[in-house]
Every structure is written in C-alpha cells, then in structure tokens.
Structure 1
Amino acid sequence: MLYAIAAVILSYLLGSVSFSIMAAKLVKGIDIRQHGSGNAGATNTLRVLGKGPGIIVFLLDIGKGIAAVLLGAALSGQSDWVPVLCGLAAIVGHNWPIWYRFKGGKGVATTVGVMATLAFIPALIAGIITILVIAITRYVSLGSLVFAVLTPIILVIMEASLPILLVSLILGIFSFIRHRTNIVKLWQGQENKLGAKKGQ
C-alpha cells in the first residue's frame, strides 16, 4: 500500500515537470505562459519556439505518461488500479504542476502516453483518427477532443478492463474542461489553426 501511494505521488511530481516552460526558458529566456495561447504545452511550444522544440516537448510529455504508468506497474504488485492512478496523477501534475504555481498545460500529449501504455491498440486507433482530423482541419484542439471522445468508446467496444475504462472517461472530462475556451472559439469560428501565430 505504501509503495502504491509513493508511486502515485512520484507520478504527480513527474507530471509537474513542464518541459514546455523549461524549453522556453532555455531557448528564448521567456515564460511560455505569457506568449501565444498562454498554454504550457507542446502546441504552444511549436508556435512560439518552432518545430524542433515543439516536437521535443511533445515527445517528452508523452514520455512522462509512459514513465508514470510503468512506475505504477513496477510498484503495484498485482493491482490493476495503481498504474491507472499513476497515469492519472501524471496528467494532473502536467495540468496543475506544483513546481509552477499549478498553471500548466492541457495534458494532451501526456494523456497519449498514458493511454498508449495502458491500452495500446485502442489508443492507436483513436490516435490515427485524431491525426487525420488535425491534418484535415488544422485544429489541434478539435483533434484533442476527438481523441478524448473516441478512446473510451473504442475501449468499450474492445471490452477493456474497468480501471482503464474509468480513467479514459476521467481524462476525457479533463480534456473538455481544459479545452473549454477552445470549444467556444471553435463554435464561433475563431479558433486558431495549426500554423497560425497564436496558439490554441
């Protein structure tokens, strides 16, 4: 039990490491939360710092999710819940990081890492559709919401375990909460497309 609690806490602290904020400080000496969309995530990093830093941050954010789930699996014994809770904790850390006054990103890349580790095939199917949506519409926020909706649906179809299904539903709710301003902009036709100067 103590190992499980420690794993969840460590996963939150890991998730709280914002590679977007770190990259912006390193590359331009700025706080990325004061530029572009104000979001400390891979998309805003791409728009403010360029493709190289954006891709690196995206991969590192995915890596946080993967590492958290693997940490939970290593310390969980036979529990199916601990890896799921560790993945959730990493995303909570990314969104509300203790190191940065609880102002972080939207957790999309970290969610991809978590779900790809917990349920690779469902996440892959949802991810491919998400990429197609982004490629066609150039709306990263829309693609993120599509991933949030599709993942639990595919998990139900593929009869995934209850812990994984529940965490996918929670993460879907997280995604809609964190993208609420984007949803309004999409509805009003004011959302910035990928490649625009201002972020999502």
Structure 2
Amino acid sequence: MLPAVIAVVVSYLLGSVSFSILFARWLRKIDIRQHGSGNAGATNTLRVLGKGPAIAVFLLDIAKGLVAVAVGQAIAGEQGSWLAVACGLASIAGHNWPLYFRFKGGKGIATTVGALIYLAPLPVVAAGVVAIVLIVITRYVSLGSMVFAALVPVILGLAGEIGPVFWGALVLALLAILRHRKNIVKLMNGTENKIGAKKKEDSHGI
C-alpha cells in the first residue's frame, strides 16, 4: 500500500514540473502565464518562444505522463493496472495544478498523450491521427485536443476494453473538456484563435 501511495505522490510531483514555465524563465526571463494565451503548455510556448522550445516542451510533457504510468505499472506488476492509471492521472493533475508554480499550470493534453500512449498505444495512435488531421484542416488546436481526448475512451469501449484503462481514459476526456470550457465558448462564438494566425490574447492549446 505504501509504495502505491508514494508512486502516486511522486507522479504528481513529476507532473508539477512545468517545462513551459521553466523554458520561459530560462530563455526570456518571463512568466509565460502572463503572455500569449496565459496557458503553460506547448501551444503557448510556440506562440511566445518559438518552434524549438515548443517541441521540447511538448515532448517533455509527454514524457511526464509516460514515466508516471511506467512507475505505477512497475510497482503493480500488472498491465493496465489501477495504480498505473492513478499515476497517470496524478501526473496530469500535477501539470494542470503544479505544486511548484502556485497551482496554475496548463491543460494537460501532452501529458495525457504520454500517459495514454503507455496504457493504450493503438487507440492513442488512431485518435492522434484524427486529431492531427482536424487541426490541419481547422487550425484549431483546442478542438483537436478535445477530440483526441474524447476519442480514446470511445475506441476502447468499442473494442470491449472496459477496465481500468477505459475508466482512466474517460476521466481524462472529461477533464480535458472541462479544462477547455472557455475554448468551447470561443469555438461556438467563432472567436477562437487559430494556430499560425495573428496573435490574440486567447486561451487555447495543449
């Protein structure tokens, strides 16, 4: 029991390492949450710092979720265990509400990708392809992010995978939509900013 609790706590602390905030401090001596969209994630890093830092942040945020799940699974010794799912959720909670940065972080999509790609690689690839195509067509990162998160549990359910991974993916989908609620309003109003468009003070992204 104690190793499991420690694993979840460590996963949260790992998730709390916000690379978007750190890169902005190192490269520009700024708080990225006060620039661009105000979101501490890869999309706003692209907007504020450029492609190189954004790619690095995206990959590192993915790694947080992947490592957290791997730790949980190693302790549980069971593929797709409840502990692995709990560790993935904890890392995403850390990203969204980081202990080190006054509990104001990002939206957790990249870290969700990392957690789910370890737990359910094929559904993640399928959902990821759909999301990427959607982003290319619409240029709305927020829309692609929400569709990705929502598709994973749908694919798992259709495949009959109703277990810890399905329920974890469902929680992550609901969390992703909740974190993007402002973006949903902007999408409905036609005011959501598109990737690559002229800067607007907006809140969409990963």
Which range, TM-score by smaller chain? Answer: over 0.9
Match of 1:186 in 2: 187
State the identity as a percent.
61
Cα distance in 2 for partners of 1:65, 1:135 equals: 25
Post-superposition Cα deviations, 1:43-90, rounded to whole Å, max 9, x if no partner, equal 100111000000100000000010000011112234811111000000
Match of 1:19 in 2: 19
Partner amino acid for 1:68? A
Cα distance in 2 for partners of 1:116, 1:17 equals: 20
Match of 1:76 in 2: 76
1:161 to partner: Cα distance:
4.3
3-state SS in 1 of match to 2:156: helix
Cα distance in 2 for partners of 1:100, 1:147 equals: 27
Q: Which runs of 5+ in 2 are unaligned?
A: none
Cα distance in 1 for partners of 2:119, 2:78 equals: 15
Cα distance in 2 for partners of 1:168, 1:38 equals: 26
Match of 2:36 in 1: 36
1:96 and 2:79 equivalent?
no
Partner amino acid for 1:142? L
Partner amino acid for 2:131? T
1:148 and 2:155 equivalent?
no
Moved over 2 A (4+): none
3-state SS in 2 of match to 1:105: coil
RMSD: 1.0
Cα distance in 2 for partners of 1:59, 1:17 equals: 13
Partner amino acid for 2:95? H
Partner amino acid for 2:43? T
3-state SS in 1 of match to 2:45: helix
Q: Which runs of 5+ in 1 are unaligned?
A: none
3-state SS in 1 of match to 2:188: helix
CA contact 1:3–1:76 (8 Å) conserved in 2: no
User: Structure 2-normalised TM-score?
Assistant: 0.95
Match of 2:6 in 1: 6
Cα distance in 2 for partners of 1:180, 1:120 equals: 27
User: Structure 1-normalised TM-score?
Assistant: 0.97
Q: How many residues align?
A: 200
Partner amino acid for 1:186? L
